[in-house]
A and B are shown apart, each in its own frame.
Chain A
């Protein structure tokens, strides 16, 4: 703008160029640069959003599980959104053990009731340790279930109880319970 001022030809009255601030030219300048700036920032949105899960990844977001072949006391590992899903049929003893624990003892207080969907023996959780994402052991009875009889993560020693609640070790929360519903008495749809 100084260049515009100094561009006044010699001998001509510079007065019209000395409008009081803010001049119309200042307004135009700020408006133009601001518009371009907002446009530039908005152009970043697709660049960031492209990193979110794509449609085909999201399309794999439900899994059906047949419960009829899972006996009490055992469980299966299946896959939900490319992550392991633990489906466990709890024994009455395991249910009793989970119900006996006072909520005040828990790091992430939840009852077995809250962690299941109407049928307390069907415990369906992600098999992803909430510490750093390893797969805990214990879905099969022959594996190490830790001192609380649920799951044991070999990576950093997190221990979960029979309701897959965190009891000991570095994990901050219980094993996550995904959204699911019983479509028939022996089938659940997860996701």
Chain B
């Protein structure tokens, strides 16, 4: 683990020495996020988002634990207990708004983190395991977020649960049985609400566990960097502390500033007014939409309207899950040995097309199921799959990358080390070889 020149922990006094010999926890921290972890010297601000995601999870766990002290998971009182938190509990409104908007912040950060990985090729060898664990975390996050959204037991909570568990009824033969098993009834009710609460409390800790493995796997090859070139020697790295603790700390400040603006000035901007109406099993809201972070996947789900061998509904569900499961195969679909898009002109273009494609899918997913949005979703969903299954493998085989710098230090000294994404040999002449 780590590079040979990593500094070793040296206890400074009798007490830390005594601790180190019995439980070397300070040694672990020193080697993982302290001065004993060498990191490429040229990381830009996109490398803040892993730490920010960890911070977002921490905020969710802390606010969630205190909210659970006031919430009751029973169909009869759940909605009222949330209103009780909002109106009666001291600072309850702040805790709930922080938790609800914290989920959005978590997803914003994680989406940027994922696209950072896509742009700089962080999923490629030797970092495949980090990517696989990351996709796992993403899936767990989606499950957790969905179940959390059900807990206030408003109209969107109820009908969201109805629609999402309805996915499982698309499975041939056993689908309906599975749906009833998941809900513990024929429609969402107390049984479903209670088990969702139980799992919503559990899964964040599972996520924390997978994050530990994600970081463990990261610390074996060490962080990728904007050039994508491997670390060659000590001159290519700086110690994590104080260099990146400071840089991440600055990023965390910006993150909290935006988060605070959301909580204090637009706490319901990302929510749905319908969820302030108590759940009513006998009335569907006119326009059921999930939270914004599910919109691209919801658009893919709705893109299938025609039966083709399998029923349209099953196609939609398969495509939606497939769009995420596909990411597990990404390290092997993109066989180009060059990691950073800054040296891959063709891939870089298609990367931005994919970003636009996902944004359009998101827009369609948040819109009503009108023909124009359905057609747009169909085109964008097809492109999404084509990007990963056709375009990416072809680019990897045919693209002629720009010359790579010999080392991170060489790129940095030439002013193209990538401290800013615009300065990593994007437009300038390639760094001369040798």
Contact = CB atoms under 8 A, between A and B. Distances in A.
Interface of A: 48, 51-54, 57, 77, 79, 81-84, 107, 128, 131-135, 154-157, 169-172
B191 A132 contact: no
A155 B182 contact: no
Interface stretch (B160-168, B231-239, B258-266, B378-386): B160-168
What is the predominant secondary structure among interface residues of chain A facing chain B? loop
Nearest to A57: B185
A170 B282 CA distance: 22
B33 to A, nearest CB: 38
A101 to B, nearest CB: 18
B304 A170 contact: yes
Given A131-B166, A170-B312, A170-B313, A53 B185 contact: yes
Contacts of B304: 170
17 contacts: A51-B184, A54-B184, A57-B185, A79-B281, A82-B187, A83-B186, A83-B187, A107-B307, A132-B166, A133-B165, A135-B282, A156-B369, A170-B304, A170-B312, A172-B170, A172-B313, A172-B314
Contacts of A172: 170, 307, 311-314
B159 interface: yes
Chain B CB count within 10 A is highest, among A81, A83, A132, for A132
B163 A51 contact: no
A51 B192 CA distance: 9
B181 A51 contact: yes
A155 B163 contact: yes
B316 A170 contact: yes
Given A53-B185, A107-B307, A172-B311, 8 more contacts: A51-B191, A52-B181, A53-B186, A57-B189, A77-B282, A132-B166, A135-B284, A170-B313
B372 interface: no
A54 B185 CA distance: 8
A148 to B, nearest CB: 17
Contacts of B165: 133
A51 to B, nearest CB: 5
A83 B159 contact: no
A156 B189 CA distance: 23
Nearest to A154: B286
Interface string B134-172: 000000000000000000000000010011011101100
A79 B163 contact: no
B396 interface: no
A79 B282 contact: yes
B219 interface: no
Contacts of A171: 313
B203 interface: no
Nearest to B304: A170
B195 interface: yes
Contacts of B282: 77, 79, 84, 135
A68 B195 CA distance: 41
Contacts of A134: 159, 162-163, 284, 288
B302 interface: yes
Contacts of B163: 132-134, 155
Interface in B270-289: 281-284, 286-288
A81 B186 contact: yes
A155 B369 contact: yes
B185 A169 contact: no
B281 A82 contact: yes
Chain A CB count within 10 A is highest, among B181, B284, B307, for B284
Interface string B300-321: 0010110100011110100000
Chain B CB count within 10 A is highest, among A135, A170, A172, for A170
Contacts of B89: none
Contacts of A169: 305
B55 interface: no
Contacts of B187: 81-83, 128, 133
A170 B284 contact: no
A88 to B, nearest CB: 16
B217 interface: no
Interface string B357-375: 0000000000001000000
Contacts of A82: 185-187, 189, 281
